[in-house]
Amino acid sequence: MAAVVLRVSVSVGRPLDVETAIALLVPIFAGITAAYHIRGETGPSQATIGKRLMGLRVVTESGDPLTPRESIRRVVARLVVSMPFLGAGCLVALFSAREQAVHDLLAGTVVERTSPVRLR
């Protein structure tokens, strides 16, 4: 992170203030996070590393693997609904019949249990 700020401040020619650095870094990290989730959820395991370790995977409501478009819809819904409210959208899963958070309901996805990956 410091390298990115340093690199940007060198190319701009003046040191960046904290607000400008945050304004530059937040979209970068949001993009990296979104790409990680999209790649994991649409890959062969249908899960990110953490979900694999917990024995979870993300599928459509009909049980099919996610397409990139469906995964993008899920990521955007999470960013728009759950993140601004500090994950409060995930509390809906406690009361949903299929344990779906708000972003899952909006994207038409379900997180289902599989067998966890065993570490040796």
Q: What is the mean pLDDT of the chain?
A: 86
What is the pLDDT confidence band of residue 16, given thresholds at 50, 70 and 90?
confident
| Predicted pLDDT at 91 | 86
70-108 residue pLDDT tens: 999 999 998 888 777 877 888 888 898 899 999 999 999
Cβ contact 45:57 at 8 Å:
yes
Q: Whole-prediction pTM value?
A: 0.77
Residue 110, pLDDT > 80, answer yes
